[in-house]
């Protein structure tokens, strides 16, 4: 079993920055991809970004391209999401997720049901 623990959320003004962290423990050798989803009140959980655990290939939602950067430090079993130029519409609970399966089509990594393990979430609030 893989356990995921997020940290780094908080309150920031529009235009500001935050860095989220997700530390994995347990069966980390089974992880193929790890990423972030977010869920705003009354909305569906949506894909934000993901990175392959070993190769470092990255995927981003169009809404965050150019503003957010995902990275990982395998030695620390930790994945990061650097969020710059934050907007009020980025306000949500951010969840770390890990998947163990390889898919030929990258689109599948944007689907929450393709991820096997989830963290508890961390709140990000961007004030206008």
Q: What is the pLDDT of residues 44-61, one digit of tens each?
A: 999 999 999 998 899 999
- Contacts made by residues 73-79, CB under 8 angstroms, sequence distance 24+: 76/23, 77/23, 77/24, 77/25, 77/28, 78/21, 78/22, 78/23, 78/24, 79/21, 79/22, 79/24, 79/34, 79/35, 79/51
Say whether pLDDT at 99 is over 90: yes
């Amino acid at each position: 079993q893989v356990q995921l623990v997020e940290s780094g959320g908080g309150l920031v003004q529009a235009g500001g920055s935050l860095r989220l962290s997700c530390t994995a423990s347990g069966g980390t050798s089974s992880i193929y991809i790890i990423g972030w989803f977010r869920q705003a009140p009354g909305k569906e959980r949506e894909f934000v970004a993901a990175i392959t655990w070993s190769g470092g290939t990255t995927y981003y939602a169009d809404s965050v391209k150019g503003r957010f950067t995902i990275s990982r430090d395998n030695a620390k079993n930790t994945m990061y999401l650097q969020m710059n130029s934050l907007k009020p519409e980025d306000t949500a609970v951010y969840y770390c997720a890990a998947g163990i399966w390889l898919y030929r089509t990258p689109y599948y990594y944007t689907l929450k049901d393709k991820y096997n393990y989830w963290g508890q979430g961390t709140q990000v609030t961007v004030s206008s």
